[in-house]
Amino acid sequence: MASADVAENLMPKSDEEDADSCLKNLIEALKVAKEEARKNAEEEALLKAEEAKKKAKEEAKAEKEEDKDVKQNVKDDGTSDIGVKQNGFINKAGGGGEYLILNANGEMGN
């Protein structure tokens, strides 16, 4: 509460108000301001918690997608299935779906 608000609550609004009634008005205004500040703090904390939860969920999703991409390229035995066949490389020979299997030396093998 600003000092101007305190002064406003302490000033009598009519000739019938005395110091006690002005102090009671100030105390009531302070209680209302305190409650509003508490509610605002709670709302802000909830928003921050929701943002943190959303960010963590997005990070977990991105990590899961990354793991999925890596797992798609790895067979059960731990070898990669991209362009490799046993100890050699697979090169597509022609457009008829035929493949040449080359060993590590680039020679044809089975």
Residue found under tokens 């709670």: 42
Give per-residue pLDDT as tens, 31-89.
999 999 999 999 999 999 999 999 999 998 888 887 776 666 555 555 555 554 444 54
What is the full DSSP assignment across 19-82? Answer: HHHHHHHHHHHHHHHHHHHHHHHHHHHHHHHHHHHHHHHHHHHHHHHHHHHHHHTB-TTS-B-S
What pLDDT, on the 0 to 100 scale, is given for residue 84?
47
Give per-residue pLDDT as tens, 23-38.
999 999 999 999 999 9
State phi, psi for 101 to the nearest 5 degrees: -105, 120
